Structure 1
Amino acid sequence: MTDDASGRRPSIRDVARLSGVSHQTVSRVLNNHPSIRPATRDRVLAVMADLQYSPNRAARALVTSRSQTIGILAGSSSQYGPASSIAAIEAAARARGYWVSTANIEAGDPQSIPDGLSHLMAQSIEGLVVIAPQVRVFRALAAQRIDIPYVTLQSTDLDPGHTLSVDQIAGARLATRHLISLGHRDIYHLAGPQDWIEAEARMMGFLDEMSAADIPTTAPILGDWTAEFGYYAGRELLRVRDFTAIFSSNDQMALGLMHAIRDEGLDVPRDISIVGFDDIPEAAHFWPPLTTVRQDFPELGRRCVDVLLGTEDGAPPSSGGALVPELVVRASAAARVRA
């Protein structure tokens, strides 16, 4: 709705005039100032609702030095992990009355990193979240000056003072330990792309758990996160079939593996057991339903916002280290069948 026939949007002065108060009073209502009487507040809010008035956030930021906005610098946001992290941060921020602005960067284009930062800083963001899966992005960020609170959501020691993450190594060890507990010894690992921080951590977790159980390993296979690659890798591995189980670094590649195994006339899990990672929404509906590792993205989002804004009750933000993921046991892994 507009205030007059000219079609212009209603302003704070229009709200003040129709409410019978000063524009300073309207500003105090917008900022929840404690000195405003309830009756005055209600009258101003009723006029705002009638006019469908919304404050100009940029102008408000100039006056208050607060934009009520958190920035996210994101690479590869189409993947399940980064996309889920962004959604969790947005939900946690909205619960605190904040908005989120996201700048997507190209990991292969170093200039996109300072460009993305400049774009976000121009919006007077109050805090920054970096969701950049590749090591090279963090190295490029190290050359940038960031003078606002920021946090990174990757398991990396490149910037330990600003890191929140899910313990990817622990999750991979859970997945591998589950297969070992079922009697499997010939276990392959289908890894994610080289240079991805999560892929490297999950590979390390697999190798650490196999070593702890004194089980020899073969070199992990480097994939690209897609079901198509999982299918291709499965067809190639089945030419020899010198394994009884595979730990896949994500659920999509696990789906491709299961397809390849079925195409060979074999059964999951009777012939080959599969465990994935991420617990995407569809994982429970694969056939068979996929055993996988679940990450608590909502909790990660809440902790992230608490670190940037402070907790609502004023208590210190949780600093309990990386979140430990959970193994979700379904039907894609079973006890090894002895020959």
Structure 2
Amino acid sequence: MAFIKAISYYLPEHVLTNEELVKEFPEWSVEKVAAKVGVNSRHLSSNSETAGDLAEKAARKLFEEYSIDPKSIDFVLLCTQSSDYALPSTACILQHKLGIPKTAGAFDYNLGCSGCIYGIAIAKGLVAANIAKNILLLTAETYTKYLHPQDKSNRSIFGDGAAACLISTEGFAEIGEFDLGTDGGGAESLILKTGAAREPKPNGKESVDEEGHVRRDDYLYMNGSDVFNFTLDIVPPMMQNVLYRNKLDQDVVDYFVFHQANKFMLSTIRKVCGLPKDKFYINLENTGNTVSSTILIGLKNSLNDGTIKTGMKVMIAGFGVGLSWGGTILRF
């Protein structure tokens, strides 16, 4: 068996409020942004601050908060789509910076909104195979560096941040069975086209999509309606698969912490899946969508405020860029 033993997170110091954002887009109002996406402010990484820097700070918070000795870590996983270098893996650099033993394994994996779930699944597999006993799972993203200054939609949604989680042979939340899935046919729906091996140099190309949004190859592009429809298609069957694999009925699940994409999407998912408000986590107000870190941030906040208690069964799920999705049950 594998368990979550500790969770912490770190948010960059600089905060961008809706009041500051709408000064750049006078056609919007503070109330409109808050109502549409559920975000009042978001944290932005500085020009010199990388995903690796955020992950390091989240890990150090974890070590301090739970009195964890870095020398007890025997594997490091880092989920990021904004790694410090093309190579080597940022996880390898973090192993050295954090004082984790050289006997530890370490690697990055490139996933977004489902990345936390995949990381927990990988960590559980490492424990089950007796490869590692104390896995440091890190999620860190600096998506705001990929956004065009005039992309008001995505700038209102995304924030930067990192989370750290220790997965071990004992802990406060037992990790259940998983449902995972992928549809790479939807890759174009959320993509940054240039900057990697397929097209390494910026090309300056711009076009207008069917929703009237400007699509820029050199910046992150998200087709909101495609991603929304994909989410509504996959979340209900994914939930049922998670319940089936964990031998549970929906009404015995005490709480649901899903990827915090935006308020409208989450509210629609909740209604479509027939979930009561008091059992469904929505809280993007002061963080925005931090991509792979939203679920761990949600779990930490819910533990801190007493919403999640010992004895509860909690479903966690992520979905988005890839296109990719995954879910599992945590038994506290």
Common fold, TM-score beyond 0.5?
Answer: no
Pair member with larger Rg: 1
Which is strand-richer, 1 or 2?
A: 2
Structure with the greater relative contact order (CA < 8 A, sep ≥ 6): 1 or 2? Answer: 2
Which is helix-richer, 1 or 2?
A: 1
- TM-score norm. by structure 2 comes to 0.29
